[in-house]
Structure formats: C-alpha cells, structure tokens
Amino acid sequence: MPEFETPAGPIYYEIIGPDEPGAAGWVTLLHNFMSTGAAAWGPVVERLAERWRVLLPDLPGHGRSVGHPPAFRHPEMARQLAGLMQATGADRGHLAGCSSGGMLAQLMLHQRLVQPATLTLVSTTYSVNPQTTGVTTSLDPKDFRASRNWVEGTARLHDPYRYDGYFEDVLLNGFRRLRLEDVIDLPLGALHEWTLPVCLIHGEDDEIFPVEIAKAMTAALPDVELHIAPDQTHALIFRQAWFVRDRLADFLERHSSGLD
C-alpha cells in the first residue's frame, strides 16, 4: 500500500481499478471509525473497480495509517484526507463515506476542500448535536447492536500494525472521548447549498443515527435520493453490503457521464 504523508503521520491507501487515471472516473471510499478501508468497503470495491478507479484509504490512526490529529478531530482528519485526494487526482471524482467517513466527506465539502462530482452517505449524520438535529443520539459503543466478538474482531484490524491493545487503548478509548467539537455539527441550511447529486443510504432501525436524521437531510438537500434498508440498524455497510453496493453502483452509473 502506498502512503501519503501528513503532519500527524502517513495515511496508507490503495488504488484499485483501471490503471490509467483517464480510463475511468475516481471514487473515494471513506470507512467508519474503528474500521479500515478494506474491512468496510471490501464487498463493494470489486464491483466498483470494474469501471471506476477506487481510492481506498485507512483513516488516520486506523489500520496501517499511523498518525492522527489530537482527539481524532474530524475537521483536521478531513483536511488530511482531502490532501490525499488532491495528491492522487481524486478530488473531483465521486466521494462516499459511511458513518464517521460520511461525516468526514461532509466536512470536506463544507470546508470546500474538494469538489466531488457526487456524494454518497451511508449510515451517517450531519450533526451529533441533539440541539441541532432534535434527535438524541448515542455514540457509546455499548449501545451498538454488535456481536459479542465485535471488540476482539475489530482489534485484529489494527493491533497487528501497532501493538496488542492498541485498538482498546487508542481507537476505542478515542471514540468514547469524542466531543461535539471533535466531530460534526452542521446546520441543515449548509446542506441546502450543496447542488451536487447526493445519495443517502440508511437503515430503517439505525440505533445510532435514527432514520429521522436521514429524512431531514433529504428534505434539505436540493438534489438527493434516499434509500432505506428495512429492519436494518447502524453500520449498514457490514450488515447488508449488497444493499449499499447495488444502490451506490446504480447511482454512480447515472451520474458518471463526462467523467470517464
């Protein structure tokens, strides 16, 4: 995997798909907190890479990406990832993110760090502030509807590149300590200014970011489509990868004219 240097340390990434940059449009895929690019998007990448050139990074401090900003501040992580997109030439291609990756994608757009052709957001929110959304959310891992072996399995994505216990010491602990100012708190009015096509993919029973959030985003965005997976909870990318893959691929097909 190549690496992109940032002041906090290198971001490791993969480029998958056609070898020539001009042969296809770019798609950047940003994973959720505590995962990696391959773990989150692996079941999706193969289909996308048949046509598009896929940029698949590990977020700062995750997987093989060593450094991260203090407190995993999402605005700074967004700047680091935008630098990677600019360096590879992916900054005007398609952009997709799930959960925290979706927050980072929105921050890039809000800060005008990149100018993507489209934006796809999976299981995410525009704000973690209940006063902004009107919806009480929980970022406590104990509230995740995950299997009993989730912590042990997730640790295997990170510890081999650092040390035994890195996941719990750094990532899980960092997630528990995230503050409002570290994450995202955009007003819905900011979304109304985004004129690019947006695809929202969300679980009907999302316990972290209730579906009301996705519906409010849909009402605010000028050019948007919403796909709700019935009876599905948070982290839809892991629960129904096929649902995300098929809707994302179809969305990109319909919005790729002139990008190849």
* 99 neighbors 122 (Cβ within 8 angstroms): yes
Q: How far apart are CA 209 and CA 104, in angstroms?
A: 16
* 208 neighbors 219 (Cβ within 8 angstroms): no
Residue by residue, pLDDT tens for the chain (260 residues) are: 799 999 999 999 999 998 765 556 899 999 999 999 999 999 999 999 999 999 999 999 999 999 999 999 999 999 999 999 999 999 999 999 999 999 999 999 999 999 999 999 999 999 999 999 998 876 766 666 655 566 788 999 999 999 999 999 999 999 988 898 999 999 999 999 999 999 999 999 999 999 999 999 999 999 999 999 999 999 899 999 999 999 999 999 999 865 54
Encoded amino acid at 198, one letter: V
* 230 neighbors 102 (Cβ within 8 angstroms): no
State the pairing for strand pair 94-98/119-122.
Answer: parallel
Q: Hey, what are 226's tokens?
A: 């919403």
Q: What is the dihedral of CA 56, 154, 98, 226, to 10 degrees?
A: 130
Encoded amino acid at 1, one letter: M
Yes or no: domain 3-254 corresponds to CATH 3.30.70.270: no
* 173 neighbors 141 (Cβ within 8 angstroms): no
* 166 neighbors 36 (Cβ within 8 angstroms): no
Beta-bridge partner residues of 98? 122
* 61 neighbors 12 (Cβ within 8 angstroms): no
101-128 tens-digit pLDDT:
999 999 999 999 999 999 999 999 999 9
